[in-house]
Chain A
């Protein structure tokens, strides 16, 4: 195991704990937006997709790169937008709820 791999493995293990810790308590109504939000975050694969598209040489790799960039872009853009739309609804609900103490 070289040192770079060891470092990467360390990040990996630490990220597991952070990932679990950070969402320990989620109210039920936020389950779906949270799922959708994490869904957008794994759209980071777009960085990898652009990486392979940039360095592609053979026709096969160019095609793979194109499809990967396309799919990853859908993931990122669609993911964040759809999450925002879900959460937009919550905002509208909380504002009228606050002024009337009941």
Chain B
């Protein structure tokens, strides 16, 4: 390797590490992302002059860059804040796909019977990249609403998935030991794609951020393996950094939901049927109290203390500005208003902080779960806007429930509860919430933004 290229890669690697370090601290996070981007540009600019491009090579490289860059930038700019998790899933998936393609192309280049140290990382990169690509596509589909967010399960699913994994390992070993013929890659890649799909399907939509994070680590490892294939230091180091930090981040994210990673990945099995049965039973024969915006507006206007619990429904309706207006109106009347932010409110951790910051809600009013849970008993009205699972007491008292063990906001302890929801439909975890039937709960049906606007008017005239 050329010495300048090696030094440029070293610099890029250092910038990636510094970028990651800054990204894990709120102060320097944005700078961290930019630091990493600079590292990426350096790695690219150092590589390109070293390559001997064929004419076709120049054309396809330029074409790929010129199409990919604007499409990536524009879709990332245009995407709604609510759709960001699936955007990350999409970008992760294409990265995994690219890693798999690099490995395949390199294997084809080397022809039959490549050396083990080439064949092994190639096959690893192809399989893991393929799983990441297909899995990310399903995660995208679930979050985008193309596929149902509720877990898709069937009897013996674990066994089938296990068999696919065994088949992949068997085929990979056969490939390595007997004959690395390009024709054998086809079934191997196909199986990897099938496993990616099969492994994500049974996981509920609410757990998708954790899955995306895991697949992100997969892509990192796949990229590192491609680095071994191409003998490229930058790919090895950057890919491994992402693989390692991504794995740690995945466990941190499941911890934030009060669950183990294994429970997130395999927890849907069996439990969900029990949960669904129980939910149907509670849904029947229980009555719901629904109120008008005027009722709720009056209640809020004469409350002493209101805690707002925002959730995904608020994000979907883009109601954060209307919510801020309502809070301002209440504060003008001397009502104490706070926001209770569950760590996984919305579709991804930190989602609500980002949305409310956009609406200029003061930082001091945003309270984290542990901080605010003790305040609910002294709260007159808990206003739950488009949230459900994060306030579901089943997480505390129903051991069979899929969300059992997840820490929740203790909204049930408030004197009055208002649920603003579009319908009685269960939340993302697909389970019923007994709190909706509680005698001190009032339902305010409708789009969160519309309802909030009506509430503002009602509070003004109250």
| Residues on A facing B (Cβ under 8 Å) | 1-2, 4-5, 8, 11-12, 15-20, 22-58, 60-62, 64-94, 96-97, 102
For residue A28, which residues in chain B have a CB less than 8 angstroms away from its CB? 256, 343, 349-350, 368
- Main SS of chain B's interface residues? helix
Bound-state CA distance A11–B238 (Å) is 10
Q: How far is the CB of B460 from chain A (nearest CB, A)?
A: 26
Q: List 29 A-B contacts (CB under 8 A).
A: A8-B227, A8-B233, A8-B236, A15-B237, A22-B17, A28-B349, A30-B350, A34-B249, A35-B209, A35-B216, A35-B249, A41-B16, A42-B238, A42-B239, A44-B223, A45-B235, A50-B47, A51-B102, A52-B230, A54-B53, A55-B51, A55-B57, A64-B101, A69-B98, A74-B72, A75-B72, A81-B73, A89-B81, A90-B353
CB-nearest residue of chain A to B88: A36
Contact code string B4-46 (vs A, CB < 8 Å = 1, else 0): 0000000010001101110111110110111011011001100
Taking Cβ atoms with an 8 Å cutoff, the residues of B that contact A are 12, 16-17, 19-21, 23-27, 29-30, 32-34, 36-37, 39-40, 43-44, 47-48, 51-54, 56-58, 60-61, 63-65, 67-69, 71-73, 75-77, 79, 81, 84-85, 87-88, 90-92, 94-95, 97-99, 101-102, 104-106, 108-109, 117, 209, 212-213, 216, 219-220, 223-224, 226-228, 230-249, 252-253, 256, 343, 348-351, 353-354, 357-358, 360, 362-364, 368
Q: Are B23 and A19 in contact (CB under 8 A)?
A: no
Q: Which residues of B contact A12 (CB under 8 A)?
A: 224, 228, 236, 240
Contacts A43-B40, A48-B232 given; indicate if A69 touches B68 (C-beta within 8 A): yes
Cα(A25)–Cα(B33), bound, Å: 17
Residues of B within 8 A of A55 (CB): 51-52, 54, 57, 109
Docked-complex contact A85 and B76, CB < 8 angstroms:
yes
* Contact call B253/A41, Cβ cutoff below 8 A: no
Decide if B64 touches A51 in the complex (CB within 8 Å).
Answer: no
CA distance A66 to B65 in the complex (A): 9
Residues in B with CB closer than 8 Å to A22 are 17, 20-21, 24, 241, 245
CB-defined contacts of B232 to chain A, threshold 8 Å: 47-48, 51
Q: Which of B39, B47, B84, B101 contacts A82 (CB 8 A)?
A: B84
Question: Which of A40, A84, A96 is within 8 Å of B362, CB to CB?
Answer: A96
